Every structure is written in structure tokens, then in C-alpha cells.
């Protein structure tokens, strides 16, 4: 199946069809619609989640904050000791080529690298085992700028290496579903009452014209959108404080903001069915509009 698809992607007569695809999958050179793709059962991503991933937003064919996502991806590969044989420029060229094959104004670009295909064993496979590259691109509907989010507080039961964007996301999945079960869009994760971040996004709050968020450490992901919003705030003269804070402090905020690649920059109106925020529209809207302009 894979050899056939690789030949198909090199055929000029297929180019027009591929560039109008609704979604696209890639696995070690094989390319087809996501629904048609297969991966080996012994890919270490299947039974260990032994890999690193990234997600980018694509608008009108342009990959937002591309270099920042690429740099974080390679940093994470180094942290978990996965060897990958493509340079940053080679990977960027491949990802852009894949994006160019899919139609749609707004796309989600996802890719991951696992430690390879080998018989299940907790130890690393042989050093000459090649890593596996998987790519998925799909059309997405971005949230409306004026959509208000509801959050649910959930104990943070993740590992102590949340700074690594690994495939091990079961705690995030459970927290996200718990939030949905309570009619919420996201979960606020906390450790003994100290807020870390959300299940799949970063968290900010505004108080007295100052933007607060948890500090970068092993307990939160260094989000690309998080970094962009901090930089933007500083350029606009809005003070930024990166420090740990309790849930009680969050509940008293003037505004609460959720940020991620696909959520972008959205406003929170409720936590645990208690109304919160919505007290400093001018500052929030100035930040949100500036972010969307960027």
C-alpha cells in the first residue's frame, strides 16, 4: 500500500487532485487521505506514547509561528533522546509541501516523531532503528473572537515533565472529558490549589491592568501562543507577571484568558459554574485584537 502511494504522489497527473484534498496524512513517505493511512502495530507511539508532537495553525497557506514550533520540536526531541534524520529546513520544506496540497482557509498541521518501530520493550530499540515521522493536516473551524469559555477545575495528575510536548496525554484527555461532562470547554489544572495551566492550553488573567500567568518550569508547556501574547503585551506597555498563583486569586481576576494554537486568544466567563472576569473589556479586547492582527 505504501509503495503504491509514494509512486502516486510523484505522478504529475495526480498533482491537481492532491492540492484539492480536504485532509492529508503522511507516514514515512507514504501519502494519502488520513482515513486511508495505516501505521505498524510496533510503532512505539502505539504502546508507549514514545514520541514528540507539534500542532500549528495554518491560515491561507501560511504556517503561523513556524520557526518557533520547529525549534520547540527539536528541543523536545533532544530532551527525550530521539534521533531524527531530517534537518529543520528539510522538515519545514516537507511540512509546507504537505500544507500546499490541502485546500481550506484554516488548517491544523499536526506532526509527530516516534522512537521507531520495534518489538515492545521498555528499553530504547537498537541505535540504528530509524524514527517514524507522521503528519496530519485537516481543515478546522476557529472559535469566534467573542465566544466565552467556561472552565472546570481539575487536579493536575500529569507527570513532572509537562514542559515536554510528548504523546503521553491520558491525564489531559481525562481532564478534558471531565470538563465537557460539566458543560465546559476546558479544564483548569491545579496542584494542591496552585494553578498550572489548562488541559490543552495556557492560562492568563488580568488584574489591575497587569497580565499574570504561571512561570515557565517543568509543570507547564512553553506555549508558542503564550510566548507571543507575553511579547505583545510588553510591546503594548501592559505589565506581565510570571508567577505561581492559587485558584482563589484566579477567581478574583478582572479577565481570564485561554490561549493555544487553535483556540488562539479567548475570554473566560465562568469557572466551576461561578461567573468570573468580564471586568476589563478594554484591556482584553485591545490584547485580543492585536493578537489577531499579528
* Catalytic sites, residue numbers: 165
Buried b (16+ CB within 10 A) or exposed e, 56-78: bbbeeeebbbbebbbebbbebbe
21 CB-near residues (< 8 Å, 6+ apart): 33, 101, 102, 103
Candidates 193, 194, 151, 159; CA nearest to 176 is: 151
Taking CA atoms, 32 is separated from 16, 26, 91, 185, 290, in Å, by 14, 7, 18, 32, 38
Place of cell 514550533: 69
Taking CA atoms, 121 is separated from 4, 47, 118, in Å, by 31, 10, 8
Amino acid at each position: 500500500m505504501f509503495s503504491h502511494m509514494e509512486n502516486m504522489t510523484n505522478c504529475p497527473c495526480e498533482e491537481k487532485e492532491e492540492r484539492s484534498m480536504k485532509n492529508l496524512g503522511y507516514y514515512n513517505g507514504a501519502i494519502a487521505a488520513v482515513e486511508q493511512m495505516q501505521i505498524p502495530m510496533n510503532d512505539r507511539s502505539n504502546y508507549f506514547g514514545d514520541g514528540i508532537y507539534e500542532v500549528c495553525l495554518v491560515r491561507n497557506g501560511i504556517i503561523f509561528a513556524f520557526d518557533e514550533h520547529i525549534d520547540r520540536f527539536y528541543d523536545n526531541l533532544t530532551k527525550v533522546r530521539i534521533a531524527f534524520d531530517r534537518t529543520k529546513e528539510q522538515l519545514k520544506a516537507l511540512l509546507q509541501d504537505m500544507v500546499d496540497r490541502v485546500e481550506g482557509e484554516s488548517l491544523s498541521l499536526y506532526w509527530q516523531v516516534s522512537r521507531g518501530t520495534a518489538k515492545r520493550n521498555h528499553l530504547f530499540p537498537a541505535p540504528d532503528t530509524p524514527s517514524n515521522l507522521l503528519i496530519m493536516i485537516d481543515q478546522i473551524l476557529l472559535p469566534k473572537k467573542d465566544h466565552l469559555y467556561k472552565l472546570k477545575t481539575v487536579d493536575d495528575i500529569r507527570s513532572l515533565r509537562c514542559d515536554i510536548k510528548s504523546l503521553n496525554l491520558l491525564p489531559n484527555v481525562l481532564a478534558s472529558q471531565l470538563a465537557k461532562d460539566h458543560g465546559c470547554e476546558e479544564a483548569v489544572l491545579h496542584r494542591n490549589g496552585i494553578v498550572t495551566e489548562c488541559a490543552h492550553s495556557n492560562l492568563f488573567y488580568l488584574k489591575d491592568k497587569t497580565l499574570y500567568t504561571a512561570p515557565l518550569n517543568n509543570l507547564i508547556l512553553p506555549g508558542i501562543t503564550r510566548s507571543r501574547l507575553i511579547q505583545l503585551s510588553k510591546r503594548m506597555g501592559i505589565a506581565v507577571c510570571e508567577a505561581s498563583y492559587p485558584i482563589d486569586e484566579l477567581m478574583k481576576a478582572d479577565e481570564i484568558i485561554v490561549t493555544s494554537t487553535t483556540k488562539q486568544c479567548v475570554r473566560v466567563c465562568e469557572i466551576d459554574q461561578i461567573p468570573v472576569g468580564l471586568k476589563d473589556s478594554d484591556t482584553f479586547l485591545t490584547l485580543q485584537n492585536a493578537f489577531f492582527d499579528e
